[in-house]
């Protein structure tokens, strides 16, 4: 052993103690990895139990899809919502169609409107009153700013903050909803073509929707989420027609609503699903072409107003500028 250490020491130019410590450290690491691999190896029975538990959790999630995803707030938050159930239902539908399907979405939305529309203007009003009231300790830099605001301007400022704070979340929600609907509307023709091809290849309707949803996960996550959520609902026990109607309500897109109607009629009357989707795809392409032609025909009218607004001042300046220059020159002479 000593001779081997001497040979390795001469070969690598290192002391024998260093080589011995290195070999000892490598041996300890090998023992550690071996023991870790043995301890981390799970028993087959434990693996099966864990898989069963995961399946139960998935089943609970599937059953959870059958419940409403947006919960109506209660108590003080409910006072900020419209009194009619139909109006509250419209707000819930807007939240779902905007992709905000969290159970607390309506509560957060209501709280945001209360904070922005009531509490912030109230805080500003209190600051103005505190800055103008003698004897209240207040930072001089902030007090000078609020003291410069007159009573009339303070009322206008508070009213402006109230209106902006209350209506700004609604404007943001409508914008987000329209953007998501436009994304779904743009991706739906490709999804319909893929679904039609899958049905013609002999795949069932449910399996075809799942396949198309998985294929569109990267290109259109919103539409893929709706397809896969619908299939989860069907697997959880909801009738196919109700699940498709729910998908149309969640999206609020006319094309999805027509697609759900076509599928329901095909299932009700026993016609070929592939032929029905082929006819619907052809009609949708014609509708999209007519819509594009309609938008193209509106361009000259819209451009005429813009051209008149931009070109008319320029033409007036070009026409009147020489006369004005000669007039001022003559007046100066």
Torsion of CA 9, 13, 15, 20, to 10 degrees: -50
Confirm whether 94 is domain-assigned.
yes
DSSP state of 134: T
Confirm whether 333 is domain-assigned.
no
Of the three residues 58, 87, 102, the one that is the final residue of a domain is: 58
- pLDDT, residue 9, reads 65
Both 122 and 206 in one domain: the answer is no
- pLDDT, residue 175, reads 93
Confirm whether 295 is domain-assigned.
no
Nearest to 279 by CA among 259, 251, 254: 259
- The string of DSSP letters for 139-186 reads -HHHHHHHHTS-HHHHHHHHHHHHHHHHHHHHHHHHHHHHHHHHHHHH
Per-residue model confidence as pLDDT tens digits over 58-84: 554 444 444 445 666 666 556 666 667
Confirm whether 28 is domain-assigned.
yes
Both 217 and 242 in one domain: the answer is yes
Both 263 and 220 in one domain: the answer is yes
> Do residues 101 and 70 touch, judged by C-beta distance below 8 A?
yes
At 178, the pLDDT band (50, 70, 90 cuts) reads very high
Of the three residues 143, 162, 181, the one that is the final residue of a domain is: 181
Please state, for a pLDDT cut of 70, what percent of the chain lies above it: 73
Confirm whether 263 is domain-assigned.
yes
Both 191 and 174 in one domain: the answer is no
Both 188 and 147 in one domain: the answer is no
Q: Report d(CA 5, CA 71) in Å as an integer.
A: 75
Both 252 and 262 in one domain: the answer is yes
Confirm whether 105 is domain-assigned.
yes
Confirm whether 306 is domain-assigned.
no
Full residue range of the structural domain in which residue 50 is found: 2-58
Both 220 and 155 in one domain: the answer is no
Both 229 and 270 in one domain: the answer is yes
* Domain count within the chain: 3
Of the three residues 181, 199, 233, the one that is the final residue of a domain is: 181
Both 43 and 119 in one domain: the answer is no
Confirm whether 294 is domain-assigned.
no
Per-residue model confidence as pLDDT tens digits over 121-140: 888 888 887 777 776 666 67
Both 198 and 279 in one domain: the answer is yes
Residue 11 has pLDDT above 90, yes or no: no
């Amino acid at each position: 052993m000593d001779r081997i250490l001497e040979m390795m020491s001469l070969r690598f130019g290192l002391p024998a103690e260093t080589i011995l410590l290195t070999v000892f450290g490598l041996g300890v690491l090998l023992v550690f990895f071996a023991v870790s691999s043995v301890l981390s190896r799970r028993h087959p029975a434990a693996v099966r139990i864990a898989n069963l538990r995961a399946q139960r959790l998935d089943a609970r999630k599937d059953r959870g899809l059958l419940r409403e995803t947006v919960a109506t707030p209660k108590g003080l938050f409910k006072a900020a919502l419209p009194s009619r159930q139909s109006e509250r239902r419209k707000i819930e539908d807007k939240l779902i169609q905007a992709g905000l399907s969290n159970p607390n979405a309506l509560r957060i939305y209501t709280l945001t409107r209360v904070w922005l529309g009531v509490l912030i203007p109230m805080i500003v009003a209190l600051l103005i009153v505190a800055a103008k009231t003698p004897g209240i300790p207040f930072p001089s830099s902030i007090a000078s700013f609020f003291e410069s605001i007159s009573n009339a301007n303070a009322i206008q400022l508070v009213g402006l903050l109230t209106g902006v704070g209350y209506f700004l979340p609604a404007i943001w929600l409508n914008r987000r909803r329209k953007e998501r609907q436009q994304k779904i509307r743009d991706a739906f023709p490709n999804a319909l073509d893929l679904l039609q091809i899958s049905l013609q290849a002999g795949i069932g309707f449910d399996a075809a929707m799942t396949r198309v949803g998985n294929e569109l996960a990267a290109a259109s996550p919103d539409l893929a989420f709706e397809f896969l959520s619908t299939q989860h609902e069907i697997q959880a026990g909801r009738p196919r027609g109700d699940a498709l109607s729910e998908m149309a309500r969640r999206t609020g897109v006319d094309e999805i609503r027509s697609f759900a109607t076509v599928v329901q009629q095909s299932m009700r009357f026993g016609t070929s699903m592939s032929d029905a989707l082929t006819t619907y795809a052809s009609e949708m392409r014609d509708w999209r072409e007519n819509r594009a032609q309609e938008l193209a025909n509106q361009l000259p009218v819209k451009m005429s107003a813009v051209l008149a607004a931009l070109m008319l001042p320029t033409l007036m300046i070009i026409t009147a500028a020489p006369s004005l220059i000669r007039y001022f020159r003559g007046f100066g002479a």
